[in-house]
């Protein structure tokens, strides 16, 4: 099986490593503050779940590259990924990015810490 070549936008996507409990709590708090959270997690492959994880990673600072930012208040939230509002990204791109966040989350949680 040959590996599929990554697109430039995929190659430049870098998530934080050496995540701490604080990083996980920041991601989870960002997720839990999103509307309809209970509904989202009933169907794990919905596009809104991938979008939620991408937005939470942006807000929690999990994304090193490309530049991302979030502007969240009581009434509104905007999440910018590489200069574009996440709402305006292609759904397959959001799915790929969101799954990368989920995969990192799950792999760290499955580790057996030695210290």
Is 26 among the domain residues? yes
Is 2 among the domain residues? no
Total number of domains constituting the chain? 1
- Domain span at residue 28 reads 15-109
Local confidence pLDDT in tens for the 115 residues of the chain: 556 899 999 999 999 999 999 999 999 999 988 877 766 665 566 788 889 999 999 999 999 999 999 998 888 899 999 999 999 999 999 999 999 999 999 999 998 887 6
Is 5 among the domain residues? no
Is 68 among the domain residues? yes
Is 66 among the domain residues? yes
Is 83 among the domain residues? yes
DSSP labels, the chain: -PPPPPPHHHHT-EE--S--HHHHHHHHHHHHTSTTHHHHTTSTT-HHHHHHHHHHHHHHT-EEES-EEEEE-SS-EEEEETTEEGGGS-HHHHHHHHHHHHHHHHHHHT-----
Is 115 among the domain residues? no
Q: What is the pLDDT of residue 43?
A: 59
């Amino acid at each position: 099986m040959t590996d599929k070549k990554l697109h430039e936008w995929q190659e430049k996507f870098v998530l934080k490593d050496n995540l701490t409990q604080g990083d996980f709590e920041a991601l989870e708090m960002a997720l839990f503050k999103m509307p309809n959270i209970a509904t989202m997690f009933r169907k794990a492959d919905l596009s809104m779940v991938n979008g939620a994880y991408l937005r939470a990673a942006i807000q929690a600072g999990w994304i090193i590259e490309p530049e991302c930012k979030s502007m969240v208040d009581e009434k509104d939230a905007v999440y910018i990924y590489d200069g574009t509002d996440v709402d305006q990204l292609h759904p397959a791109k959001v799915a790929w990015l969101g799954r990368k966040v989920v995969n990192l989350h799950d792999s760290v949680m499955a580790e057996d810490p030695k210290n």
